[in-house]
Structure 1
């Protein structure tokens, strides 16, 4: 033990802080542009959602649930009751902010994740390099993602989306990779024998056959993005998560339960809808 105690402490923290400061200084114009553009997009999306009257929004969601579930009333009735509850509790604006956060972070995750998963399925080197990175992303505690988010973008919805994307990205990448690799080799060989190009084989054979697996990954990504709502509120992201955090800080059990139940309702509706669309 004396020998171990005499070993000088490695300057890991200092080096990481210096690296983050260097990255922030060098890429500051890019981060500022991304932050400004993202704020405009997300505030515009939230304002657009708020333009829809709550009653009309509830009817539209119920109709989507009704047809997505094969004209069954269960999910539609749940969405009507649940969304009426959210509106009744005065949480409608927070709900729209939360939906904006989930939509943007999920879309960014899918836009990045699906091509990256395809690359992993097609390239052995890419699979070797990206797999440990995904392992790192999935095992790192979610709170740690807030540190680079705040360093790069300050506080607000933009760093919340940044942290959510990092946290929610791996399932889409992994499931896309898995789905394409599980496509029957006989079908791929048949496509090759008919003279299909690489893009034709990808878009007409592999992706359609891997669709259900990819959609399962997207479902997991959306749910993980929603699970980051409360954590992202710690760095200023608005929405239902901020209400839960505020209730926790003030020990307001009733208010926290109301906001938490609203999150549960939203999670159930999103989860069931994405599952129905997958089928």
Structure 2
């Protein structure tokens, strides 16, 4: 395979959850936003491109798909959660055409992105990606993960590689040092404790996000003067901490903590 071979990339539209609107019982994506996101080619996108070419030669891959980013959903707001469930269940209308939720990769789950494709292409694309096999009974997480493999970036190679298949390792059930096994759902007290702990975690991370200082606040903090130093035979510029107190508020010459510096940082950040 050529080392200089690069993956094909596609620019597809990107919308945010708060940009959706509800009009006549339809969830509408705005038409005046030209924001895009770059994604690498994959088996899934390759199959989608073929389906688009077969069903509607006048259509384009970039117009048949878009991403929805939902990282700004407030998990404590039942209305927003209900709206997001409705988005997944009913789909989104964009420029008069219906788009439905498509296959999701693990990376998309971590970044809270969901892809939507035109409804008229969904059945054929899903048929190709699943190789025509649809289990009657399965674990939904494993099924989603199996389909998500098709979203991995891939490069076409002009030969059949040598492949070694290693049997999967299955660990036996752990039975030693197990004191008690209890169904959490059957114990309302334990369930309440877990929900309370999750609520505390959400409040903590939300407060942590709100307390991050802005670039404007950081700009007014005292800066260390620069000095010229020689590193590996090259002259570079580095902060001169011998002439100025460090950001922690300590004076390096006499080892005395300067409270004024700490107070300034506290006022700026909080």
TM interval, short-chain normalised: under 0.3
> Which gives a bigger RCO, structure 1 or 2 (Cα 8 Å, sep 6+)?
1
**TM-score normalized with structure 1 length:** 0.21
More helix by share: 1
**TM-score normalized with structure 2 length:** 0.22
More strand by share: 2
* Higher CA-based Rg: 2
